[in-house]
Amino acid sequence: MSQYLKRFFTHKGLAKLVQRWREDQQGGVALLFGLTFVLMLLFVAGAVDYSRWLAARTNTLSAVDSAVLAGARSLQTDNDNVAAAVAAANRYYKENTRNLDVVDDTVRFLPLENNAGMKATGQSYVVTPFLNIIGIPRLPVLNAAEGKISEAVIASGGKSRGENEISIMLDITGSMRGQKIVDLQDAAKDLIDIVLLKEDGQTRVALVPFSEAINIEKNWAAEVVSNGPQRYTFRDWWGRTQRWQLDGLCATERTGADAFTDASPDGQNKLGHFYSSDGECMPKSGTVIPLSSDKSKLKQSIDGYQASGNTAGHLGTAWAWYMLSPNWAQRVPPTSRPGPYGDPNINKIAILMTDGEYNTEYCNGVTTSYINCNSPNGSSTTQARTLCTNMKAAGITVYTVGFQLARGGESYETMRQCATDPSSFFSADDGDGLKQAFRDIALQISTLYLTR
């Protein structure tokens, strides 16, 4: 056996064997090599086409995401101007796809139902010159019919699908007369248009206009304001006898242990009553509106504001809190009742706006600038700051807006301190600035999220 193996593996024997194999297999090997080469070439070429397709698809989808977000953001700020929103979406899309090698691009943008967002429709392709050899001239980059394209949906309140409660304190004191009250009305209505884009009850807004006191509706005034005699006689700071009249629809500050809390106004801890020389509440226009998703009602109330009276900013602050407090749930209509604290699906937000120094507080229902006694709770500024601290401790996010306030002044510092953080404080120097501040707050509150 070893002899045969030795002969076989000699140089000449092996050479003859190889030569014979080559003669028999030469044609088949050539064919196999050719096929393998072609397949490898197609594979490499196909990989090049696939890489181009993948890059085009990734960038196109990203461009669509940016475009629908831009369109939806435009709808947030001007919900009736669909043309501007579509133009914004198209502009973003074209800017982000101009360097992509796509063909037959029919992508366009449309608003969602009730202008509650923006979506894309259409399709686009990338040319595949190498795969065209085997009959694949192009690959789809985008096809809306497949239902995998993003939509930008507007959601109020920061928690995309939660309930959102927003309470807005609005200064309608005498210093707001003229163009300033008009600017405020425009800014507040603009905010309402943004946060109440969908009147579905998921987002509700309360309005708290204030000046010297808080004007409340008759149907619940008796439940929250303490009783007092119809006429009150007192001596003013100059020793003169005054006889003022009660307005039962007007509220002032609460005293006692619950002065700086949101406790339900029961029994002895009801709110203070209000006396004036003519028995009329200040503000004379603008009552508190508890949480509501009725956009028309809210905007109509704002349109009726008239500037008058001094500035009891602590009262506006307190009532902005009350309208968000579950402790007050039984004092307002069922549809206006705030949800519980600590619920991860409820976002509670207070927006506090003023244009002047807090200069009015009360003693026995009379402003301390007249009656010969001081407020047991301290100054309006001190009370407001304490209320802000306690409101934030309860889990309420506080935004503040100072309108033409002197930088570094007492009211400016009150607004700055009351805000949840520095980014939640806005200072406006004119009407355009006020509108922009309210819009910025609305856009922070109203989030956009993508769905596929």
Contact 90, 110 (CB under 8 A): no
Q: How confident is the model at residue 37 (pLDDT cuts 50, 70, 90)?
A: very low
What are the tokens at 264? 């339900």
User: What tens digit of pLDDT does each residue of 69-101 get?
Assistant: 899 888 877 777 899 999 999 999 999 888 877
Give yes or no for a contact between 329 and 206, defined as CB atoms under 8 angstroms apart.
no
Distance CA 292, CA 306 (A): 22
On the 0-12 / 13-18 / 19+ scale of CB atoms within 10 A, 191 is buried
C-beta separation of 119 from 160 below 8 A: no
Q: How far apart are CA 392 and CA 321, in angstroms?
A: 9
Q: Tell me: the pLDDT tens digits for 345-359?
A: 999 999 999 999 999
Is beta strand 241-252 parallel, antiparallel or unpaired with respect to 231-235? antiparallel
Domain 163-451 -> CATH class: alpha beta
Residues 51-68 have pLDDT tens digits of 777 888 888 888 888 898
Q: Are 399 and 441 in contact (CB under 8 A)?
A: yes
Q: What is the pLDDT of residues 132-191, one digit of tens each?
A: 777 788 888 877 666 667 788 877 544 445 688 999 999 999 999 999 999 999 999 999
d(CA 143, CA 196): 33
Distance of CA 152 to the CA centre of its chain: 14
- Cα distance from N-terminal residue to C-terminal residue, the chain: 75
Over residues 29-50, mean pLDDT: 57
- Using the Cα atoms of residue 424, residue 429, residue 433 and residue 439 in order, give the sign of their dihedral: positive
Which SS3 state, helix, strand or coil, does residue 417 take?
helix
> Please, are residues 117 and 151 in contact by the beta-carbon 8 Å criterion?
yes
Q: Report yes or no: 365 and 272 within 8 Å, Cβ to Cβ.
A: yes
With a pLDDT cut of 70, the percent of the chain lying above it is: 86
Structure tokens at 135: 């009959």
Domain boundaries, the chain: 26-152, 163-451
Contacts of 178 (CB under 8 A, 6+ apart): 307
The model's pTM is 0.77
What token pair was written down for 187? 């800014």
CA atoms within 13 A on the CB side of 36: 6
Q: What is the pLDDT of residue 10?
A: 46
Confidence of residue 3 (pLDDT cuts 50, 70, 90): very low
